[in-house]
């Protein structure tokens, strides 16, 4: 993708990663691979996808150089994503490299946990401290239906191994998809409470893998209209032959407030609690019976753009300042030239300066990403 022009003169570039809305960027979502060992219906089509050639993927040394350049500008937290980060050989070494960079306070990872059991202890020893496990159901049949793989036992074993290894912050991330998640929320909450984990439900968002070119635009604020417009087909059931190719529409979103009502019906009134850090996307609630915390990420119905602190780097070296912005800056080219840290930091500053107020645009309408999530990073 061509790097986008920037209006600022060189002398006007900000001295740190602060955009024109005053948002200071301290967090990086870092995709280490576009490959995955699952084939989730909302992420990949049934026929599969073409992965990037090996030579297009950043090496660990290149990634570490970029993180060092960003840390000098105020980056403090790195979350490794994919695809599935654990499918990339040597990822423990990458964790150790990043954790050793001055200024980096925390290294975290988002994983489906299928490959986690033998790696949990080495990852913890290398400096990984937070885990987000993508888990949409604890029903084996529904898991197989959604992911097209029968890997729930290994995912649960990975979570158990992480707890034994010493991880104290493990969150379960589940998409809230209408027609699927209503029956999964309470069993997920029951599992999370029993295991001492925090469940976070994330409103289903449009991506290139689950929406067509005619995907509807949704307004920034207010309740979403739960209907399908005439020009869009009604969503196919998950697991059907057409599921990976269906259009995204608001009818597929299970709103966070509706999720909260399901949880409250089981465990009593929910009480909001303070966020664990500035810019946290989830709104946390304490269970009515005191049995822990559940989080809701209202990505569609109440976007949290105003407090966003995140940048994204894809596995093939494209820097993005927002999941939904179509612009990307070519970090790989800079890393493979002799231009050094100054060039990397210039790219970082320019990207941050170009960040829009809402959802990658000035108008804030919700439009599908130009790349599927396995290529951008969760």
Tell me if 203 sits within 8 A of 301, measured CB to CB: yes
Q: Report the relative pairing of strands 271-273 and 283-286 from DSSP bridges.
A: antiparallel
Summarised one tens digit per residue, pLDDT across range 140-199 is 999 999 999 999 999 999 999 999 999 999 999 999 999 999 999 999 999 999 999 999
Instruction: Kindly report the pTM of this predicted structure.
Output: 0.83
DSSP code, position 238: T
Structural domains of the chain, with CATH: 10-376 (3.20.20.70)
Residue whose entry in the numeric block shows the structure tokens 């589940």: 174
**Alpha-helix runs per DSSP H in the chain:** 60-71, 91-99, 120-126, 140-147, 152-165, 185-195, 256-267, 331-335, 340-353, 373-376
Cα radius of gyration (the chain): 20
Residues in contact with 132: Cβ distance below 8 Å, sequence separation at least 6, in sequence order = 79, 108, 109, 110, 111, 170, 171, 172, 173, 200
Q: Which of 216-220, 226-230, 359-363 has the lowest mean pLDDT?
A: 226-230
CA distance to 257, 261, 292, 298, per residue, from 265 (Å): 12, 6, 16, 20
Summarised one tens digit per residue, pLDDT across range 257-297 is 999 999 999 999 999 998 777 678 889 999 988 889 999 99
Band of residue 361 on the pLDDT scale cut at 50, 70, 90: low
3-class DSSP state of 278: coil
For the chain, how many residues are written? 378
DSSP sequence for 66-113: HHHHHHTTT--EEEEESS-GGGSTTHHHHHHHHHTSTT--EEEEEE-S
Residue whose entry in the numeric block shows the structure tokens 């993180």: 67
Residue whose entry in the numeric block shows the structure tokens 């032959």: 241
DSSP sequence for 280-314: -SPEEEE-TTS--EEEEE-TTTS--GGG--EEEE-
């Amino acid at each position: 993708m061509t790097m986008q022009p920037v209006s600022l003169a060189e002398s006007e570039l900000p001295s740190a990663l602060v955009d024109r809305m005053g948002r200071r960027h301290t967090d990086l979502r870092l995709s280490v691979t576009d490959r995955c060992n699952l084939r989730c219906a909302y992420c990949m089509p049934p026929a599969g996808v073409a992965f990037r050639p090996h030579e297009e993927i950043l090496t660990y040394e290149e990634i570490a150089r970029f993180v060092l350049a960003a840390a000098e500008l105020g980056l403090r937290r790195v979350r490794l994503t994919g695809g599935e980060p654990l499918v990339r050989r040597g990822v423990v070494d990458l964790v150790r490299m990043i954790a050793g960079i001055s200024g980096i306070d925390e290294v975290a990872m988002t994983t489906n946990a299928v490959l986690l059991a033998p790696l949990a202890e080495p990852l913890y020893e290398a400096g990984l401290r937070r885990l987000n496990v993508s888990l949409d159901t604890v029903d084996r049949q529904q898991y197989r239906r959604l992911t097209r793989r029968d890997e729930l036992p290994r995912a649960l074993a990975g979570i158990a191994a992480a707890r034994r290894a010493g991880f104290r912050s493990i969150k379960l991330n589940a998409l809230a998809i209408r027609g699927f998640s209503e029956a999964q929320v309470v069993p997920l909450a029951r599992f999370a409470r029993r295991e001492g984990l925090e469940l976070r439900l994330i409103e289903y968002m449009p991506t290139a893998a689950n929406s067509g070119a005619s995907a509807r635009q949704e307004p920034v604020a207010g309740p979403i209209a739960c209907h399908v417009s005439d020009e869009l087909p009604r969503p196919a059931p998950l697991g059907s032959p057409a599921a990976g190719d269906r259009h995204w529409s608001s009818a597929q979103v299970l709103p966070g407030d509706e999720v909260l009502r399901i949880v409250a019906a089981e465990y009593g009134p929910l009480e909001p609690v303070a966020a664990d850090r500035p810019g946290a996307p989830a709104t946390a609630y304490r269970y009515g019976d005191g049995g822990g915390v559940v989080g809701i990420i209202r990505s569609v119905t109440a976007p949290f753009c105003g407090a966003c602190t995140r940048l994204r780097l894809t596995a093939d070296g494209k820097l993005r300042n927002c999941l939904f912005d179509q612009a990307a800056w070519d970090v790989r080219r800079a890393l493979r030239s002799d231009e050094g840290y100054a060039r990397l930091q210039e790219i970082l500053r320019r990207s941050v300066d170009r960040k829009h107020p809402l959802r990658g645009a000035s108008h804030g309408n919700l439009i599908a990403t130009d790349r599927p999530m396995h290529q951008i990073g969760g």
